[in-house]
Structure 1
Amino acid sequence: MTIDDIIDFVEGLDDVLTVRPAPGDGSPEISWGDSFFYYSPDRVVPQATQPFATIVTKNYPGDEGSRLDREGAFRVNIHAGKEAFIEAVGHTPREQGPTDVDAGAPDTVIAHPVYGSAAWLAVVDPGSGTDAVTRELLRKAHALARARYERRADSAPR
């Protein structure tokens, strides 16, 4: 899977807003080249929520273990929910998983090296071994984001 394959897939889901920070748009330089996916029927970045998935193309401070400083390396981060997290990695987000997990191992679904305790999953350089599961996790994350959006809309003052 390439970055463009993933972006095309996610944008094929309903009501997805993709944010791709770039020089001159007011975004922090560290985010340039990355992609952030939101459920947003009105095409506006939601103010009270995080993206349901991201693609990062570089190491962030405190998150060098994925070794995204390699040419062409990237990581897909997915907030697919607690059940999908447990199914993917075999433990709850709050439990300590295996300590020998290589955060930079390509084509492997792992607990996100920083946000795993919040039920985020990660895949560095997804390939044939994780193509189907990555797509399914992205579908689940999108469905959860839509459900959160609908709950907020139903509870908003009228």
Structure 2
Amino acid sequence: MNESEISQYITETFEGVDVMIASGDSFFFYNPDGNVPPDHRFMFATIVTSDINDQFSDLNRPSVFRLNIGISKQTFRSLFGERALPSDKNSTPKSDDTSSSDYDFTALNQVMPHPVYGRMYWTCILNPSDEMFKTTVQTLLAEAYNMAVSKYRRLAARS
């Protein structure tokens, strides 16, 4: 799947989604009535197309993008356990760097922890295939969206 197809899937499948586009990257927020102040919106997925914010995935390759999805701690741990992840968002992992993980963050069509935000239970996948999208990514997106809705409702109930 490409970025446009994924963006279309997210906006057509989930209600109340706002998309902000900056520098070619897409940020998906739950914003049910379109009037939620920016500091109360809950981002649940992003599509990143360049290495501006980190260089782990080598997104400067032609047609390569990374889909990032914020999932629950339980789902994250069921997928990845508690492996160490790189901690410096501005560094590039090196083969002799003992702080880097066992993941090849440049690999296509592989669900893995986000190289920077994995510690916050974000996952990523570069260029998911149609099959991977249907069998795995759709489920992760649904969980992330439902978490954003729950956070919004909890915050709204306190207001």
After superposition, the C-alpha distances for 1:39-67 in whole angstroms (9 at most, x for unaligned) are 00121453145511100000134x21201
- Report the equivalent of 1:117: 119
RMSD of aligned alpha carbons: 1.7
- Report the equivalent of 1:147: 150
Higher normalized contact order (CA 8 Å, seq sep 6+, divided by chain length): 2
| Contact kept in structure 1, 2:30 and 2:42, CA below 8 Å | no
| Structure with greater helix share of residues | 2
- Determine which of 58, 62, 68 is the counterpart of 1:71: 62
After superposition, the C-alpha distances for 1:94-131 in whole angstroms (9 at most, x for unaligned) are x5268221001000000000010000000011114521
Aligned equivalents of 1:141, 1:36: Cα separation in 2: 13
1:104 counterpart letter in structure 2: T
3-state SS of the aligned residue for 2:43? coil
| Structure with greater strand share of residues | 2
Structure 1 spans left out of the alignment, 5+ residues = 22-31
Identity in percent: 32
**How many aligned residue pairs are there?**
142
Aligned equivalents of 1:51, 1:153: Cα separation in 2: 16
- Determine which of 45, 48, 57 is the counterpart of 1:56: 48
Structure 2 spans left out of the alignment, 5+ residues = 86-99
- Once the two structures are TM-superposed, the CA of residue 75 in structure 1 deviates from its matched residue by 0.2
1:118 counterpart letter in structure 2: M
